[in-house]
Amino acid sequence: MTDNNTHSKLIGYILWLFGFTGSHRFYYGKPVTGTIWFFTFGLFLIGWIIDLFLIPGMDDRADAKYTAGRVDYTVCWILLTFLGVFGVHRFYQGKWITGLIYLLTGGLFLIGYLYDYWTLNGQIDAVNRGL
């Protein structure tokens, strides 16, 4: 059995602190429920509290689903969160053209930035698999 530790439980729990925004769910590749958590304040805080106990399972499923490789998921998520409108996470993945577009357009007028919250795990997985 290979160790495919693509996501961090520690980061998951740190994001859980802001989990009423859905951030930990986006990180673990659950954009639909992340969006629901965002618009319902963590599913009225009840889902947020329950997630405290669900994070280890979410982490295990993300580790099993996504491919480890040259692009680190946690680093890329941090870059997206804090510097995403400048395309830094795209530069980190080696996507220079879209990185420049994001840099010049404020994350493609924030629409691309939001799109990346939905698709970042899949993007990193594709880069790590060489697609």
Residues listed for the chain: 131
Q: Where are the domains of the chain?
A: 9-65, 73-128
- Position 1 pLDDT exceeds 50: no
- Position 82 pLDDT exceeds 50: yes
CA atoms within 13 A on the CB side of 23: 17
pLDDT of residue 18: 87
Distance in angstroms (rounded) separating the CA atoms of residues 51 and 36: 13
Distance in angstroms (rounded) separating the CA atoms of residues 104 and 112: 12
Q: Which two tokens stand for residue 79?
A: 């870059």
pLDDT digits (tens, 9 = 90+) for 39-79: 999 999 999 999 999 999 999 999 999 999 999 999 999 99
Distance in angstroms (rounded) separating the CA atoms of residues 124 and 77: 10
pLDDT digits (tens, 9 = 90+) for 4-50: 899 999 999 999 998 888 999 999 999 999 999 999 999 999 999 99
